Amino acid sequence: MNEVDTARSSTPSVRRNEARYDDAALTPPVDVVEDATGITLYADLPGVSKDKLHLQVESDTLTIEAESALNVPEGLQSSHTEVGLARFHRVFTLSKELDTEKVTAELNHGVLTLRIPKLARAQPRRVEVKVA
């Protein structure tokens, strides 16, 4: 049974699905910011490189999966490791107002930035008033 709740957003544009995942997978913290033209998600993925990041949008579901490898510098030996190979997994249910065909993603210094614009019909527009 899944519990669905609203992510940090004033409208229900993104809902987080809490499901059972492998115990080895970490849930990365994600901030969701909504504006008039869409949403931006900021996910903390420390130690993740572009080739170990997998993003998928299927229907109204966004899945973030990643692996990090914190390498020990040559000539050094780790005496204690709390995080070695970390796996990240997060799933979001997206609003029908979002244009999943136009998702953009950028990974910079361990922070994934995903931008998902709203469909043109869901964006605010100014209505011109004519004088009769």
Q: Could you report the per-residue pLDDT of 33-74, keeping only the tens digit for each?
A: 999 899 999 999 988 999 999 999 998 999 999 998 777 788
Pairing label, strands 25-26, 85-94? parallel
What pTM, to 2 d.p., does this model score? 0.70
pLDDT value of residue 76 = 84
Strand order in the sheet with 30-35: 30-35, 38-44, 111-117, 104-108
Domains observed in the chain:
3-71+84-120 (2.60.40.790)
Quick one: pLDDT band at residue 15, thresholds 50, 70, 90? Answer: low
Contact predicate 31/42, CB 8 Å: yes
Q: Exposed (0-12), middle (13-18) or buried (19+): which is 64, by Cβ within 10 Å?
A: buried
59 φ/ψ sector (left φ>0, alpha ψ -120 to 50, else beta):
left
Q: Is 117 left (phi over 0), alpha (psi -120 to 50) or beta?
A: beta
DSSP state of 79: S
